[in-house]
Amino acid sequence: MKTFVSDISKKEFPIEERVSGKMVRQPIMAIIQKDFPDFTQDKFLTLAELNEFREKHIENFMAQQMGDLSDLEQKVLVAIKDSSTLSDKIDGDGQKVTFGQKIADKVAAFGGSWTFIISFSMFLLFWISVNIFWLANKGFDPYPFILLNLILSCIAAMQAPVIMMSQNRQEEKDRERAKNDYMVNLKSELEIRMLHEKIDHLILSQQQEVLEVHKAQIDIMNDIINRLKKLDVPD
């Protein structure tokens, strides 16, 4: 098996992994030469080493566009380096829910339903009817229904913060989902940029191979022409 020595790591690799410096785009070449000043277009490196410098190029691009990288952007870079996914790490629905949070969710769900509206309206009609018609407005809560107003005020005072607790938790889950959506979209954009780099490298490599084939064909044609000239006997 044919091998070559990388000018970056000075290690031996299979010839299939060899990449010429002529195939490296100028922005990535500048990053390589920053770490290895002696590296030129006439030298070689492996595809894995080239991918590492591509990742550095993307990291530098993000730093230039966004300034200091946040924790979310650092997670995206780690996911790209590890070739891992982010869409399966959405933990908004996987968090443990406490007993109080379950009660808050149930109260908020019941308080915002037609079941609550209809049942509470029937309770109010029953309370008013009993005190006005059955007890002739001389019962335990005659008009203007002071006890009923007190009960309604207590229910409203207790229900409002419980519903707000549920809404705050839902907003927190929405923020977590938005963060994960941002990381997934950013990772997709960066991987598309890397894909463009690889396609450009593939096109340059194919063009170089075609040029080499053309040069070989021209050399063969020149050799044939020279032989024909030697065989041509003058009259």
**Phi, psi for 108 (deg, rounded to 5):** -65, -40
Mean local confidence (pLDDT), 3-28: 82
pLDDT of the residue at 95: 62
How many CB atoms are located within 10 Å of the residue 87 CB? Answer: 11
Judge whether residue 200 has pLDDT over 80: no
Residues 126-164: tens digit of each pLDDT: 988 888 887 777 777 788 888 888 988 988 888 888 888
How much of the chain, in percent, has pLDDT values that exceed 70?
A: 75
- CA 58 to each of CA 127, 151, 168, 194: distance values in angstroms, whole numbers, following the listed order: 70, 63, 37, 8
What is the phi-psi region of residue 34: left when phi exceeds 0, alpha when psi lies from -120 to 50, beta otherwise?
alpha
Nearest to 25 by CA among 196, 190, 206, 215: 196
Residues 55-68: tens digit of each pLDDT: 777 777 766 665 56
What is the residue whose two structure tokens read 């299939």? 16
Residue 131 near residue 139, CB atoms below 8 Å: yes
Residue 179: burial class (beta carbons within 10 Å; 0-12, 13-18, 19+): middle
Comparing 59 with 124, the larger pLDDT belongs to: 124
The overall pTM is greater than 0.75: no
Banded model confidence at residue 122, pLDDT cuts 50, 70, 90: very high
Of the listed ranges 22-36, 80-94, 169-183, the least confidently predicted one is 80-94
Residues 21-47: tens digit of each pLDDT: 877 777 788 888 888 888 888 888 887
What is the residue whose two structure tokens read 């940029």? 193
pLDDT of the residue at 41: 82
Comparing 146 with 93, the larger pLDDT belongs to: 146
